[in-house]
Amino acid sequence: MAACVSYLPLFILSLSTAYSVPVQSGVGFSAQLIHRDSPRSPFYNSSETHSQRLTNALHRSINRLSHFNTSRHELQSDVYSDGHGEYIMNISIGTPPVEILSIADTGSDLIWTQCKPCAHCYKQDAPLFDPKSSSTYGPLSCLSTECKALNETIKGAFCPPKAGDSTCLYRYTYGSGFTNGDLATETVTLTSVSGQPIAFPKTIIGCGRNNSGTFHKEESGIIGLGGGVVSLVSQLGPSIDGKFSYCLVPISAVPYCSSKIYFGANAIVSGYGVVTTPLVKKNPDTFYFLTLQAISVDDVIIEFKGSAFGTTEGNIVIDSGTTMTLLPKYFYLELESAIASKIQAKRVHDPDKAFSLCYKFNSNFKIPKIVVRFAFASVKLDPLNTFILISKHVGCFTFLPTDNGLAIYGNLNQMNFLIGYDIVKRTVSFKPTDCTMH
């Protein structure tokens, strides 16, 4: 794994605004994404086996499904029984900057952290953020244009009756908890791969005063990368030309390499092998909806007739925070049958009963060519995207069925692709890439 770049410290202990620079239009920068199962992650459990980590990731994928239930009326983030997402970003807020351990999540919007004073906060290792200690913290007034706009455009932002000039509030509910607090503007600082802190003044954040759920004590916030108006991507807007991309290293490289996320000029995906599919605008605008038309297994094409998201356009969500690719049961069973008919190997059971399709691996094991056919973009998956070793001699299929009919394109299928989002042109692009070299 010598190709991987040297790591920056996950926690930068002495950031100073004297050394941070505000982002300007047309400027590009990149940052590290640390997988939660990396030895550099505070979530890392050295006593777990590789198989246990994969099984836990599978359960997180299933638990996360409720996050994508678009019939819910409350705006959701991803607070679930086994963690909030799969990747961590180094982020600081305030002046002087205070670090928070943040989950980078393309399936949620708000940037938020626990704040002092707190009526009810879950236990966290790091000190709570104190707005009084920051010279750039500015609570949003209920009379402000920003608060009024947020009240009109997102569910979750509100003001009490006859609030006058009091603080604009937010209330988000989740699968297993909630966060309530104040909306404010604050300077958010990210540390780029080059080591240069990049500052984003007057970013809208949530200052949590009443938070409950199955959070881990190591974490103190979420950085939303979704498509909604308060996500980091949307708030950066013209300064990054509406572009971000990421390159996720394979699971086998997680102990040695970090993945990367790119913004602005650095996020452009171009060159040989690039395919592009439309981003479909649907409710909620947090999620990145694509259109899946079929999946082919060698010469067998299995048409996708839709999901709970819809039968035609926008029938699947691409999500970096879900590990497995999840498909409606009717479609998954057709896909599994097609793959099983092509593989000449001994089928075995996953001892943890987590994966559905597993085989005994040997040097002659041959995986069929699997192509995910999005609208205008056929993405040929590598074997590392479709089968994963859960033990030395057992490999399992990285797709799973869902009972509720939802369809999520998970991060195992995204690894070793440079994936670019353009929220202005409304496209997602895929380029086969060795992400350990990118």
Which residues are identified as catalytic? 105, 319
Please check whether residue 277 is in contact with residue 420, taking contact to mean a CB–CB distance below 8 angstroms.
no
Could you give the CA distance from residue 31 to residue 190 in angstroms, rounded to a whole number?
7
Exposed, middle or buried by CB within 10 Å (0-12, 13-18, 19+), for 97? buried
130 Cβ neighbours under 8 A, 6+ residues apart:
115, 116
> CA dihedral defined by 419, 54, 221, 75, rounded to 10 degrees?
70
Please check whether residue 94 is in contact with residue 129, taking contact to mean a CB–CB distance below 8 angstroms.
yes
- When computed from its CA atoms, the radius of gyration of the chain, rounded to whole angstroms, is 21
Task: Round to whole Å and give the CA distance between 110 and 314.
Answer: 23
Which pair of structure tokens corresponds to residue 277?
Answer: 């599919």
Per the CB < 8 A criterion, the answer to whether 299 and 293 are in contact is no
Query: Taking the CB of residue 282, how many other CB atoms lie within 10 A of it?
Result: 17
Q: What is the DSSP letter of 204?
A: E
Spacing of C-alpha 183 from chain mean position: 22
**Please, how many CA atoms are within 13 Å of residue 289, restricted to the half-sphere of its CB?**
21
Bridge partners, residue 374, by sequence:
292, 377
Cβ density class 17-31: b for 16+ within 10 Å, e for less: beebeebeeebbbbb
Nearest to 123 by CA among 224, 13, 213: 213
3-state secondary structure of 411: coil
